[in-house]
């Protein structure tokens, strides 16, 4: 358990560095997008090797899956205006030199701060594991995200909410005209949609004691939604039901926070007896909202225009 | 699981990863966008294989879930490609002549 493990890690690191460089430097935007998708796959493997399967799961779902779909769709919309494969010469301009210098400064700062870390610091692992019994779940990552630092997750859902509001508000490029129905895509949808819904429910439930959770489940649901939109074009205007679905997760999370602040120990301080149920409730609502938000981001503004 | 088995699984994972490196040549050279997209799909399958091997080698069943998610989502990018950009076999001959550029 030494040489073979190091060989795998070495190949992974070399591929990541090479792909990162190629995805940034490719003049061909389509090639860059494909390289970015493969980069996401390998980053997911890298997180596995770093012992963080929760992050690997999120990266696999969002980085390798949905981000690729969004980028390809964006590329198609750019292409319609005749901006295909914009050539970007790799010369050194003052602006690029400035960015390079600033990046170098940031790298030096980061390296210096890593070197300044104490040699042996106990970290927060011990206190996190110590409180696990009162957190309502047995997966320390879920306990951290939903209980110890619920604030962060609440605001992350808020960021996604703002993103979809931005897409709705901006007079963005309208969706492409719908292509004629494709029998193979309908078949794929019929096979894959039930599987993604079942797997999303599984990930939501398993998040309490193993890697999984609302974001990963939502990415799977959203993938099903994207496939649906491709097979039978959806229209997701900012109607009342869609708006309700989009704010549901944030509203439930905030509502629980206010309720615990008024009746309990403080904002987002869950009583240990109900913590498990409360976390599941928040995650279920968040999963629905995040999935609708992601599909709405992909669908964009309705083709006919709402003005 | 015997020791040699674990070693064999790690080596198999490294070999599959090396085939992913080979697949990247196809992404880099193309020549058509369809070749690049299909190569990416193949690499996704390779990543699923690496995850399944590591799940056994490192005895980490959570990696099976990561592999499941990757396998379920792999087809979405392909579907978006076919629907939005489309395979353009006509450009194949043209690209091949210009392919040897930097």
Do A146 and A137 touch, CB atoms closer than 8 A? yes
Helix (H) or strand (E) holding B22: helix B3-29
Interface touch B62/A211, C-beta < 8 Å: yes
Same-domain status, A93 and A140: no
Q: What is the 3-state secondary structure (H, E, C) of chain A?
A: CCHHHHHHHHHHHHHHHHHHHHHHHCCCHHHHHHHHHHHHHHHHHHHHHCCCHHHHHHHHHHHHHHHHHHHHHHHHHHHHCCCCCCCCCCCCCHHHHHHHHHHHHHHHHHHHHHHHCCCCCCCCHHHHHHCHHHHCCCCHHHHHHHHHCHHHHHHHHHHHHHHHHHHHHCCCCCCCCCCCCCHHHHHHHHHHHHHHHHHHHHHHHHCCCCCCCHHHHHHHHHHHHHHHHHHCCCCCCCCHHHHHHHHHHHHHHHHHHHHHHHHCCCCCCCCCCCHHHHHHHHHHHHHHHHHHHHHHHHHCCCCCCCC
Distance from CA of B90 to the nearest CA of A (A): 17
Same-domain status, A303 and A195: yes
Residue extents of the structural domains in chain B: 3-97
Interface touch B27/A185, C-beta < 8 Å: no
For each successive 10 residues of chain A (307 residues), what is the average pLDDT? 77 90 83 89 90 87 84 79 54 86 95 87 79 79 82 90 86 64 83 90 85 86 88 78 88 88 80 81 89 87 50
Distance CA A189, CA A200 (A): 16
Interface touch B40/A60, C-beta < 8 Å: no
Distance CA A217, CA A59 (A): 12
The beta-carbon neighbor of B73 closest among A18, A38, A65 is A65
Interface touch B72/A56, C-beta < 8 Å: no
Interface touch B24/A73, C-beta < 8 Å: no
Q: Is residue A123 part of a domain?
A: no
Same-domain status, A8 and A107: yes
Same-domain status, A191 and A297: yes
Q: Is residue A106 part of a domain?
A: yes
Looking at residue B84, what is its pLDDT? 79
Domain enclosing residue A214, as ranges: 136-307
Do A58 and A214 touch, CB atoms closer than 8 A? no
Q: Closest by alpha carbon to A286, among A166, A228, A210, A200?
A: A200
For each successive 10 residues of chain B (102 residues), what is the average pLDDT? 82 87 85 86 90 87 88 86 70 43 40
Q: Is B47 helix (H, G, I), strand (E, B) or coil?
A: helix
Distance from CA of B70 to the nearest CA of A (A): 6
Distance from CA of A274 to the nearest CA of B (A): 26
For residue A85, give the chain B residue with the closest CA.
B33
Same-domain status, A44 and A92: yes
For residue A298, give the chain B residue with the closest CA.
B80
Neighbouring C-beta atoms of residue A188, cutoff 10 Å: 18
Q: Give chain A positions within 8 Å (CB) of B39.
A: 34
For residue A204, give the chain B residue with the closest CA.
B65
Interface touch B69/A192, C-beta < 8 Å: no
Give the count of domains, chain A. Answer: 2
Interface touch B85/A206, C-beta < 8 Å: no
The beta-carbon neighbor of A38 closest among B18, B27, B81 is B27
Q: Is residue A125 part of a domain?
A: no
Same-domain status, A81 and A166: no
Q: What is the pLDDT of residues B17-41, one digit of tens each?
A: 888 888 888 888 878 888 888 888 8
Average pLDDT, chain B: 80
ipTM of the complex: 0.83
Q: Closest by alpha carbon to A45, among B95, B58, B51, B2?
A: B51
Q: Is residue A120 part of a domain?
A: no
Looking at residue B49, what is its pLDDT? 92
Residue A175: left (phi > 0), alpha (psi -120 to 50), or beta? beta
Interface touch A56/B63, C-beta < 8 Å: yes
């Amino acid at each position: 358990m030494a040489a073979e493990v190091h060989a795998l890690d070495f190949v992974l690191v070399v591929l990541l560095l090479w792909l990162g460089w190629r995805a940034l430097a490719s003049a061909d935007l389509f090639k860059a997008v494909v390289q970015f998708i493969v980069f996401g796959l390998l980053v997911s493997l890298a997180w596995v090797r770093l012992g963080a399967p929760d992050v690997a799961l999120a990266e696999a779902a969002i980085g390798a899956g949905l981000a690729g779909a969004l980028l390809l769709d964006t590329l198609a919309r750019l292409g319609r205006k005749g901006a295909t494969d914009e050539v970007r010469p790799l010369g050194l301009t003052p602006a690029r030199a400035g960015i390079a210098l600033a990046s170098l400064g940031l790298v030096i700062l980061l390296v210096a701060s890593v070197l300044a870390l104490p040699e042996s610091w106990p970290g927060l692992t011990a206190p996190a594991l110590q409180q696990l019994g009162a957190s309502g779940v047995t997966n320390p990552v879920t306990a951290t995200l939903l209980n110890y630092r619920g604030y962060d997750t609440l605001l992350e859902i808020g960021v996604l909410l703002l993103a979809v509001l931005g897409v709705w508000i901006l007079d963005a490029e309208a969706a492409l005209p719908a292509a004629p129905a494709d029998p193979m895509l309908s078949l794929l949808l019929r096979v894959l949609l039930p599987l993604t819904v079942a797997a999303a429910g599984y990930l939501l439930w398993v998040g309490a004691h193993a890697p999984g959770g609302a974001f990963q489940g939502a990415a799977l649901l959203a993938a099903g939604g994207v496939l649906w939109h491709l097979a039978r074009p959806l229209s997701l205007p900012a109607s009342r039901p869609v708006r309700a679905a989009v704010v549901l997760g944030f509203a439930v999370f905030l509502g629980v926070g206010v309720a615990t602040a008024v009746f309990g120990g403080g904002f987002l301080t869950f009583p240990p007896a109900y913590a498990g149920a409360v976390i599941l409730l928040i995650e279920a609502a968040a999963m629905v909202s995040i999935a609708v938000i992601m599909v709405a981001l992909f669908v964009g503004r309705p083709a006919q225009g709402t003005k | 699981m015997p020791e040699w088995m674990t070693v064999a699984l790690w080596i198999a994972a490294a070999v599959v990863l090396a085939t992913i490196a080979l697949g990247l040549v196809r992404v880099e050279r193309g020549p058509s966008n369809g070749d690049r997209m299909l190569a990416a799909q193949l690499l996704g399958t390779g990543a699923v294989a690496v995850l399944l091997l590591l799940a056994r080698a490192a005895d980490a069943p959570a990696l099976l879930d990561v592999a499941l998610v990757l396998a379920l989502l792999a087809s979405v990018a392909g579907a978006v490609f076919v629907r939005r950009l489309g395979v353009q076999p006509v450009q194949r001959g043209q690209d091949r002549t210009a392919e040897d550029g930097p």
